[in-house]
Amino acid sequence: MASKTDARKALEIVEEQFPTLQILNEDGEIVNKAAMPALTDEQLQELMRRMVYTRILDQRSISLNRQGRLGFYAPTAGQEASQLASQFALEKEDFILPGYRDVPQLIWHGLPLYQAFLFSRGHFQGNQIPDGVNVLSPQIIIGAQYVQAAGVALGMKKNGKKSVAITYTGDGGTSQGDFYEGMNFAGAFKAPAIFVVQNNRFAISTPVAKQSAAKTLAQKAVAAGIPGIQVDGMDPLAVYAATHEARERAINGEGPSLIETLTYRYGPHTMSGDDPTRYRTAELDNEWEKKDPLVRFRKFLENKGLWSEAKENEVIEQAKEEIKEAIKKADAAPKQKVTDLISIMFEEMPYNLKEQYEIYQAKESK
Amino acid sequence: MAQMTMIQAITDALRTELKNDPNTLVFGEDVGVNGGVFRATEGLQKEFGEERVFDTPLAESGIGGLSIGLALQGFRPIPEIQFFGFVFEAMDSIAGQMSRMRYRSGGHYHMPITVRSPFGGGVHTPELHSDSLEGLMAQTPGLKVVVPSTPYDAKGLLLSAIRDNDPVIFLEHLKLYRAFREEVPEEEYTIPLGKADVKREGSDLSIITYGAMVHESLKAATELEKEGYSVEVVDLRTISPLDVETIIASVEKTGRAIVVQEAQKQAGVAANVVAEINERAILSLEAPVLRVTAPDTVYPFSQAESVWLPNYKDVMETAKKVLTF
Ligand SMILES: Cc1ncc(C[n+]2csc(CCOP(=O)(O)OP(=O)(O)O)c2C)c(N)n1
What is the ipTM, given to two decimal places? 0.96
Question: What amino acid is encoded at A363 in this protein?
Answer: K
pLDDT recorded at residue B51: 98
What number is the average pLDDT over the span B296-315?
Answer: 96
Three-state SS for B161? helix
pLDDT class of A337 with cuts at 50, 70, 90: very high
* Residues of A tagged active-site: 265, 269, 279
| Main-chain phi, psi angles of A305, to 5 degrees | 75, 25
CB A114 within 8 A of CB A330: yes
Comparing CB atoms, the residue among A141, A205, A363 nearest residue B30 is A205
Q: Are strands B168-173 and B114-119 parallel, antiparallel or unpaired?
A: parallel
What number is the average pLDDT over the span A22-26?
Answer: 98
Please judge whether B59 and A175 are an interchain contact, meaning their C-beta atoms are less than 8 angstroms apart.
yes
- State pLDDT tens for residues A340-350: 999 999 999 99
What DSSP assignment string belongs to A99-114?
A: BTT-HHHHHHTT--HH
C-alpha A170 to ligand 1 mean position (Å): 8
- State pLDDT tens for residues B161-205: 999 999 999 999 999 999 999 999 999 999 999 999 999 999 999
Nearest alpha carbon, ligand 1 atom 19 = A203
pLDDT class of B245 with cuts at 50, 70, 90: very high
What number is the average pLDDT over the span B268-273?
Answer: 98
A145 touches ligand 1 (CB under 6 Å) = no
C-alpha A339 to ligand 1 mean position (Å): 31
Please judge whether A336 and B127 are an interchain contact, meaning their C-beta atoms are less than 8 angstroms apart.
no
Is residue A69's pLDDT more than 70? yes
Mean pLDDT value across chain B: 98
The whole-angstrom distance between B88's CA and the closest CA on chain A is 10
Strand partners, A9: none
Comparing CB atoms, the residue among B57, B127, B307 nearest residue A211 is B57
Question: What amino acid is encoded at A272 in this protein?
Answer: S
A362 shares contact with chain B (CB less than 8 Å): no
> Catalytic site residue B129?
yes
Give the nearest chain A residue to B83 (CA atoms). A141
Q: How many CA atoms lie within 13 A of A91 on its CB side?
A: 9
Alpha carbon A124 to its chain centroid, in Å, reads: 21
CB B213 within 8 A of CB B259: no
Please judge whether A356 and B29 are an interchain contact, meaning their C-beta atoms are less than 8 angstroms apart.
no
C-alpha B18 to ligand 1 mean position (Å): 27
Whole-number percent of chain B with pLDDT over 90: 100
A273 shares contact with chain B (CB less than 8 Å): yes
pLDDT class of A366 with cuts at 50, 70, 90: confident
Please judge whether B59 and A360 are an interchain contact, meaning their C-beta atoms are less than 8 angstroms apart.
no
| Ligand 1 atom with minimal separation from the B129 CA | 25
Three-state SS for A220? helix
Question: What amino acid is encoded at B165 in this protein?
Answer: N
pLDDT recorded at residue B1: 80
What number is the average pLDDT over the span A270-285?
Answer: 96
Task: Domains for chain A: give ranges and CATH numbers.
Answer: 23-28+36-333 (3.40.50.970), 336-366 (no CATH)
Alpha carbon A100 to its chain centroid, in Å, reads: 8
**A-chain residues near B298 (CB < 8 A):** 341, 345
Q: Which helix (H) or strand (E) holds B233?
A: strand B231-235
Q: How far apart are CA B207 and CA B210, in angstroms?
A: 10
Which of B7, B27, B30 should we substitute to test contact with A (largest number of A Cβ atoms within 10 Å)?
Answer: B30
Whole-number percent of chain A with pLDDT over 90: 98
CB A320 within 8 A of CB A56: yes
Strand partners, B198: B234
Residue A195, classified by CB atoms within 10 Å of its CB into exposed (0-12), middle (13-18) or buried (19+), is buried
Nearest alpha carbon, ligand 1 atom 8 = A142
What DSSP assignment string belongs to A46-109?
A: HHHHHHHHHHHHHHHHHHHHHTTSS-S----TT-HIIIIIHHHT--TTSEEE-BTT-HHHHHHT
pLDDT recorded at residue A89: 98
- State pLDDT tens for residues A203-251: 999 999 999 999 999 999 999 999 999 999 999 999 999 999 999 999 9
Instruction: Please give the C-alpha separations between residue B106 and each of B43, B73, B242, in angstroms, as whole numbers.
Output: 40, 18, 25
Question: What amino acid is encoded at B125 in this protein?
Answer: T
CB A48 within 8 A of CB A297: yes
Please judge whether B304 and A341 are an interchain contact, meaning their C-beta atoms are less than 8 angstroms apart.
yes
**B-chain residues near A278 (CB < 8 A):** 33-35
Tell me the longest C-alpha to C-alpha distance in chain A.
80
CA angle (A184, A188, A192) in 5-degree steps = 90
CB A292 within 8 A of CB A48: no
- State pLDDT tens for residues A101-160: 999 999 999 999 999 999 999 999 999 999 999 999 999 999 999 999 999 999 999 999
| Ligand 1 atom with minimal separation from the B29 CA | 23
B229 touches ligand 1 (CB under 6 Å) = no
Tell me which residue of B105, B102, B94, B86 sits closest to B67, measured CA to CA: B94
pLDDT recorded at residue A1: 62
- Rama region for A143: left / alpha / beta (φ>0; ψ in -120 to 50; rest): left
Nearest alpha carbon, ligand 1 atom 17 = A170
Q: How far apart are CA A259 and CA B325, in angstroms?
A: 66
pLDDT recorded at residue B43: 98
**A-chain residues near B30 (CB < 8 A):** 203-206
C-alpha A123 to ligand 1 mean position (Å): 22
CB B199 within 8 A of CB B233: yes
Give the nearest chain B residue to A139 (CA atoms). B127
Is residue A2's pLDDT more than 80? no
pLDDT class of A3 with cuts at 50, 70, 90: confident
